[in-house]
Amino acid sequence: MKARSIIGSVLAAVVIFQSCTKDDTSVPQVTLIEKIVKDVPADTIVGLSPIGQPVGVGKFTFYSFETNAIVPNSDSNSTKWDIGVRGTTIIVNGGTSGPGNGGAFVYVGTFDDLGNVPADSTFKVDAAPNFAVTSGSNKGWYLYVPQTNLVTPLPGRVLVIRTATGKYAKVEILNYYKGGTTPAATDPDAVKIYTQRYYTFKFAYQANGTTNFK
């Protein structure tokens, strides 16, 4: 009986050791998602007004950082999306724009240098016609030059987003034209008009709810 007891104790110790070893060598869950997204339509141009201004259909395209996908307009009144884009306007899922906990601010600096959301950050909330991501040339994320009729992202601007569910993402708009290539200044206005309103951007999304982007 004593021998059996000793053998049983040894076997139990082996099982415990193997279990601990397995847990210790398990792969940690990845919570930081980093992606580059191309050609997200943003109320693309369908024609021109009587005075020659480009016209879309007036709808936002909604995007989720958690799923890295466009969200159908039928879910616009849900927390399934985090940002919406229509022309140069960017909205977040909160305030007057949606039922979520969304907010944002524009960080001045580089995408790579933003390793954490600064502790003293103030997140703005959409309150139409004013938005958390400031609209207007040279005020938020882009510059519009009337002489060339082109929209280009301002360098050193990163959008810091509090998502619909209260998590965090950082976003850098890379391009505003289809294919991720800005037309040449000498290209015809028709080319500039009908290839605009396609966002290419990169983002990092922290799924664990912390403010850490490292």
User: How would you write the pLDDT of the chain (214 residues) with one tens digit per residue?
Assistant: 444 444 444 444 444 434 444 454 555 567 999 999 999 999 999 998 898 888 999 999 999 999 999 999 999 999 999 999 999 999 999 999 999 999 999 999 999 999 999 999 999 999 999 999 999 999 999 999 999 999 999 999 999 999 999 999 999 999 999 999 999 999 999 999 999 999 999 999 999 999 999 9
What pLDDT does 27 receive?
54
What pLDDT does 91 receive?
98
User: What's the gap between Cα 184 and its chain centre?
Assistant: 27
Q: Which of 58, 63, 34, 40 is nearest to 175 (CA)?
A: 40
What pLDDT does 17 receive?
38
Which residue, chain included where needed, has tokens 């206005």?
189
Token pair in block for residue 3: 């021998």
What pLDDT does 29 receive?
65
User: What's the gap between Cα 153 and its chain centre?
Assistant: 15
8 A C-beta contact, residue 137 and residue 149: no
d(CA 106, CA 138): 12
pTM (2 decimals)?
Answer: 0.85
d(CA 83, CA 205): 13
What pLDDT does 136 receive?
95
Q: ∠182-186-192 over CA atoms, to 5°?
A: 45
* Beta bridge partners of residue 35, listed in sequence order: 203
What pLDDT does 76 receive?
97
Token pair in block for residue 99: 């039922």
- Residue 117 carries which DSSP code? -
Q: ∠124-81-173 over CA atoms, to 5°?
A: 65
8 A C-beta contact, residue 62 and residue 73: yes
